Amino acid sequence: MNTNYPSFEEAMNAASLWCSAWEAEEISDEVLADRVSELLKSKNGVRGFFVISLSSDSPLMDRLPEALIFQLREAGELVVDITVKNLVMSSAMALHHKRNKSDHQKSSSQKIQRRCIEILRLLEPNTVKERLESFLQATQGEGKDVAFLARWNYDQEQKQCIVQGINSIAETTTKKEEA
């Protein structure tokens, strides 16, 4: 694998291997974070890592190691962008799967949504806020992300689910601060 610019498929394969090794306690949190940091340098790398880590049954994204959180923060806007897009898509798709009575797929979308919310709470707040606000504008037909929503042909009810997913980040943060 070309670690500087892995293909999407190479990034998925590496992420799958590393998540499995971490889960089996064959590599430490620090080694995992160091390896993932190489993927976080490119769009294909970030996408491949998140495809595997967000959707898999691996507990990695439910028990985020500090070393990995550090690397996600260091990667900056690219990680924020991809995570927000995963939140948007999983929020809309949860409703789609509910409509189609596909409980397993709905549950998977909800898991991805929950994991994205938790990750976004840990990233640089101003960058996250700006990216989320852009998608909130898009649900109203304004701004640069309108094309993204249009590409997936999300209807008004799905856009409302996207808004709810975005708003739940602030709600989750507020509840934890009050506790």
> Tens digits of per-residue pLDDT, 60-100?
999 999 999 999 999 999 999 999 999 999 999 999 999 99
The residue among 59, 75, 91 that closes a domain is 75
- pLDDT over 70 at 179, yes or no: no
To the nearest 10°, report the CA torsion of 77, 83, 89, 94. -160
Average pLDDT, rounded, for the chain: 92
The residue among 54, 75, 96 that closes a domain is 75
What pLDDT is attached to residue 172? 53
What is the C-alpha separation between 103 and 80, in angstroms, rounded?
28
93 and 65 within one domain: no
What pLDDT is attached to residue 5? 83
Are the C-beta atoms of residues 110 and 93 closer than 8 Å to each other?
no
149 and 81 within one domain: yes
81 and 20 within one domain: no
55 and 135 within one domain: no
pLDDT average, residue stretch 104-131: 96
151 and 86 within one domain: yes
136 and 86 within one domain: yes
Domain of 145?
A: 76-179
133 and 54 within one domain: no
179 and 103 within one domain: yes
93 and 71 within one domain: no
The residue among 55, 75, 95 that closes a domain is 75
- CA-to-CA dists, residue 75 to 22, 101, 145, 148, 177, angstroms: 21, 37, 21, 22, 26
100 and 178 within one domain: yes
Q: Give pTM, 2 decimals.
A: 0.91
Q: Which of 109, 85, 86 is nearest to 97 (CA)?
A: 109
pLDDT average, residue stretch 112-124: 96
Structural domains in the chain (count): 2
168 and 81 within one domain: yes
- pLDDT over 60 at 178, yes or no: no
93 and 56 within one domain: no
